[in-house]
């Protein structure tokens, strides 16, 4: 595993040793030097460019592991390995980020800074000049220039992927000090920053279409509305002589004028009697029984004949052969064996990994929650897919962990987060989406995934020795999502947003009919509230300074008084003013206010991108029934270690300093926290 990295370190060692003069010293001087060497041991290690120590650090990053659920499952004896770790070491709540969203939280962990330092404030950011939203952590850009040749458009240069997180990742600092490290699937690292060790990108990695996951569903059922659905596409097909002919939908073909989507044909021969079908795509033929998933199938999309193609891979699921044909095809993932975009360091690593561990989802959020929300997959079908995702992660873990012998090993698991999002409704009878029948089938789904993570920990615990520190941590906890608060509807109803004369509020189209010349504030993202600020927003009308400050104060006070008439509860328990809670050069580039929802509440589905549903508050009946994008104090994460955590209230921003301190490396000056193994406030 370390072959490339090790050779690099060895080369640097040889360079360092080269040309050093050998001198005779007196014993006194030698003793003095020995004293200095001991006193300055960590610095000497850093100066040499290679790590000589035996210290090891293992970090399991468990997205969304919730302290309340963990305590419950431990108390019930469901998680013996976590119980052992908590009783023999430490178990603390881990203060999450503001707001408690994964890209923000993991960026806090990665850089040791808050959003003001790393510039990630939400899943969704906006360009203040165009009001166009985009994913905060990364962007995929097409080539800037092209030559037109008839219908063909020949790009000059290739497109690029750009990571938007600022600041230095902890493993970059480890690299500078020669500490070997491997970082698997950590969010907010696409494309992966240059690194000496093996890294594999995680959340933020797009599918081959440049989206964060777009499934396809082929059916001849006339009751299924054709066209785009959330996170996918329903494609009507005809069954003729027991055969279906259709196209797989690939990336936009930027080689062609108008960038039409690239497609590859496939056919399905349906057995007229048995619930079985044979699928033929390119040179591959395989048979699926109803209810069966294929393994990964590699697909090559031809963009320009004999010149340009792009490789991806997907999985097929035959939902039904008769009486209606129903075939689900996963989002086309980047092929790790021949990635169209950079997903690992070294670049060849994803290929080696796929050769050794088999193919795996490269898409950052692999669990197809949208297919479940859209009703394309049911609970059982989605669970099969989610189990496969975790099985792939465990396969990679089982292959890589035994190779870990020095430095830092970080491994990320997504399963608890995504499956707590999808199955909260089946373990909480108070949820508006609760269904006793479905709960009887899959009410223990969340527990099942927690227990799987316990098994992973069970593989790690026996490997711990006196030189090895273990951190098991989550970026945030979890809570029910009962009711939606439509922030933009509230802003509209309260006169902060104005529509154009005669304009009608639209649920779906972002910012439809908004009169920006009369609008003072707007919500965007899951927790963000922005002032329509003069000089920042292209149509900003609120003067910076006193006017803006007064508006921020007014909004904060009003939002904290909002009550849900149905339950009589406060909807919003906390509103943070960005300039008061963030430190760093990007403090002013995000939202002006961070709206912290009470447990049970979240920003509504349509309000996040600027839609105006008619009601301010409404029940959440989406299968996505648990969430964490709330008041950050209500959804802390967890921190467990085999060592005594001295900090009473450790935070995500303490983790990078902790990692560095384990190897005698001083934290960088822009890092906020300190090692969790030192009492808070003590000198680092």
**Whether 180 contacts 50, CB under 8 Å:** no
Single out the residue of 7, 87, 88, 130 in contact with another protein (rule: CB under 8 A): 130
Compute the least distance from the CB of residue 123 to another protein, in Å: 6
| Interacting span for another protein (CB under 8 A) from 148-156, 243-251, 444-452, 497-505 | 148-156
In terms of DSSP H, where are the helices of 50-101? 67-75, 80-88
CB 628 to another protein: min, Å: 11
State which of residues 92, 165, 394, 421 lies at the interface with another protein (CB under 8 A).
421
Q: Angle, to 10 degrees, between the axis of helix 445-460 and the axis of helix 415-423?
A: 170
Does 600 engage in binding with another protein (CB under 8 A)? no
Q: Restricting to residues 184-203, which ones interact with another protein according to CB under 8 A?
A: none
663 in Cβ contact with 50 (< 8 Å): no
Q: Which is nearer to another protein, 33 or 149 (CB)?
A: 149
Could you tell me the smallest distance in angstroms from the CB atom of residue 606 to another protein? 6
Q: Which of 2, 297, 483, 606 binds another protein (CB under 8 A)?
A: 606
When the beta carbons of 147 and 436 are compared against another protein, the nearer one is 147
Q: Which of 132, 162, 243, 557 binds another protein (CB under 8 A)?
A: 132
Alpha helices in 201-311 (DSSP H): none
Give the whole-angstrom CA distance, residue 429 versus residue 533.
44
> Which of 286, 293, 434, 516: binder of another protein (CB under 8 A)?
516
Size of the site for another protein (CB under 8 A): 45
With residues binned 3-state (H G I as helix, E B as strand, rest as coil), the percentages for the chain, rounded to 5, are 30, 25, 45
Round to whole Å and give the CA distance between 212 and 367: 11
Return d(Cα 107, Cα 137) in angstroms, integer: 9
Between 99 and 117, whose beta carbon lies closer to another protein?
Answer: 99
Whether the CB-CB separation of 298 and 311 falls below 8 Å is answered with yes
> Minimum distance from CB of 609 to another protein (Å)?
6
User: Quick one: which segment of 122-130, 311-319, 398-406, 445-453 binds another protein (CB under 8 A)?
Assistant: 122-130
Q: Identify the residue among 609, 666, 668, 678 touching another protein (CB under 8 A).
A: 609
Q: Which of 29, 33, 149, 429 binds another protein (CB under 8 A)?
A: 149
- Which region, judged by CB under 8 A, interacts with another protein, from 91-99, 267-275, 311-319, 366-374? 366-374
Residue 510 interacting with another protein (CB under 8 A): yes
* Closest CB to another protein among residues 620, 674: 620
Omega before 191 within 30 of 0, i.e. cis: yes
Residue 603's closest CA among 620, 582, 621? 620
Rounded to the nearest 10°, the torsion over CA 473, 476, 477, 478 is: -140
Q: Which is nearer to another protein, 176 or 517 (CB)?
A: 517
- Cα–Cα dist 632/598, whole Å: 9
Q: Scanning residues 229 to 248, which ones bind another protein (CB under 8 A)?
A: 230-231
C-alpha distances (whole Å) from 392 to each of 8, 13, 291, 356, 483 are 30, 37, 20, 12, 34
Binding mask 212-231 for another protein (x = CB under 8 A): xxx-------------x-xx
Alpha helical stretches, state H, 482-538: 487-493
> 161, exposed or middle or buried, with CB in 10 Å at 0-12, 13-18, 19+?
buried
Bridge partner list, 301: 310
Minimum distance, C-beta of residue 486 to another protein, in the bound complex (Å): 12
Q: Please, which residues bridge with residue 220 across strands?
A: none
Q: Which is nearer to another protein, 61 or 510 (CB)?
A: 510
> Measured from the CB of residue 148, what is the shortest distance to another protein in angstroms?
3
Residues at the contact surface with another protein, assessed by CB under 8 A: 123-124, 129-135, 147-150, 206-207, 210-214, 228, 230-231, 331, 363, 365, 369-370, 373, 418, 421, 509-512, 516, 526, 538-539, 605-606, 608-609, 624, 629
């Amino acid at each position: 595993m370390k072959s490339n990295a090790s050779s690099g370190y060895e080369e640097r060692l040889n360079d360092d040793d080269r040309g050093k003069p050998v001198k005779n010293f007196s014993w006194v001087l030698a003793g003095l030097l020995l004293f200095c060497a001991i006193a300055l041991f960590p610095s000497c290690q850093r100066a040499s460019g290679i790590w000589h120590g035996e210290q090891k650090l293992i970090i399991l990053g468990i997205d969304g592991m919730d302290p309340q659920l963990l305590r419950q499952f431990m108390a019930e004896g469901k998680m013996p390995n976590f119980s052992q770790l908590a009783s023999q070491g430490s178990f603390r709540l881990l203060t999450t980020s503001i707001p408690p969203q994964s890209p923000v939280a993991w960026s806090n962990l990665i850089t040791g800074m808050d959003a003001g330092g790393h510039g990630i404030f939400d899943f969704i950011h906006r360009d203040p000049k165009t009001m166009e939203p985009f994913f905060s952590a990364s962007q995929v850009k097409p080539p800037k220039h092209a030559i037109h040749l008839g219908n063909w458009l020949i790009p000059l240069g290739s497109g690029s992927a750009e990571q938007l997180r600022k600041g230095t990742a902890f493993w970059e600092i480890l690299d500078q000090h020669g500490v070997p490290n491997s970082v698997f699937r950590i969010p907010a690292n696409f494309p992966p920053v240059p690194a000496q060790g093996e890294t594999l990108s995680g959340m933020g990695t797009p599918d081959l279409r440049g989206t964060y996951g777009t499934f396809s569903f082929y059916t001849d059922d006339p009751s299924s509305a054709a066209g785009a659905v959330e996170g996918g596409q329903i494609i009507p097909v005809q069954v003729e002589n027991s055969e279906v002919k259709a196209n797989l939908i690939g990336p936009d073909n930027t080689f062609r004028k108008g960038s039409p989507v690239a497609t590859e044909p496939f056919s399905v021969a349906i057995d007229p009697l048995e619930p079985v079908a044979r699928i033929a795509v390119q040179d591959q033929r395989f048979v699926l029984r109803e209810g069966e998933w294929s393994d990964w199938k590699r697909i090559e999309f031809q963009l320009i004949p004999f010149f340009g193609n792009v490789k991806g891979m997907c999985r097929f699921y035959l939902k039904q052969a008769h009486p209606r044909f129903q075939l689900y095809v996963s989002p086309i993932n980047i092929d790790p064996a021949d990635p169209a975009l950079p997903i690992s360091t070294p670049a060849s690593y994803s290929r080696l990994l796929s050769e050794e561990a088999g193919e795996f989802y490269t898409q950052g959020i692999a669990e197809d929650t949208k297919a479940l929300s859209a009703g394309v997959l049911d609970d059982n079908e989605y669970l099969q897919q989610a189990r496969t995702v975790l099985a792939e992660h465990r396969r990679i873990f089982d292959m890589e962990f035994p190779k870990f012998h020095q430095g830092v090993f970080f491994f990320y698991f997504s399963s608890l987060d995504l499956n707590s999002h999808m199955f909260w409704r089946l373990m909480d009878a108070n949820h508006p989406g609760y269904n006793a029948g479905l709960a009887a089938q899959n009410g223990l789904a969340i527990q099942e995934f927690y227990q799987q993570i316990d098994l992973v920990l069970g593989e790690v615990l026996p490997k711990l020795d006196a030189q090895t520190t273990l951190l098991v941590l989550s970026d945030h906890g979890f809570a029910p999502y009962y009711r939606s608060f439509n922030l933009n509807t509230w802003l509209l109803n309260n006169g902060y947003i104005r529509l154009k004369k005669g304009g009608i509020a639209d649920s779906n189209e972002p910012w439809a009919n908004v009169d920006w010349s009369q609008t003072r504030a707007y919500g965007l993202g899951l927790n963000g509230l922005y002032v329509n600020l003069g000089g920042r927003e292209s149509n900003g009308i609120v003067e910076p300074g006193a006017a803006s400050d007064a508006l921020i104060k007014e909004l904060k006070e009003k939002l904290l008084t909002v009550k849900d008439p149905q339950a009589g509860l406060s909807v919003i328990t906390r509103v943070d003013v960005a300039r008061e809670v963030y430190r760093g050069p990007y403090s002013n580039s995000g939202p002006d206010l961070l709206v912290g929802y009470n447990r049970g509440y979240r920003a509504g589905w349509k309000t996040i991108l600027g839609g105006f549903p008619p009601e301010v508050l409404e029940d959440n009946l989406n299968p996505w029934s648990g969430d964490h994008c709330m008041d950050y104090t209500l959804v802390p994460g967890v921190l467990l270690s085999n060592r005594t955590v001295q900090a009473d209230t450790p935070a995500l921003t303490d983790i990078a300093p902790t990692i560095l301190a384990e190897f005698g490396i001083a934290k960088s000056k822009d890092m906020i926290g300190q090692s969790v193994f030192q009492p808070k406030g003590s000198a680092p």
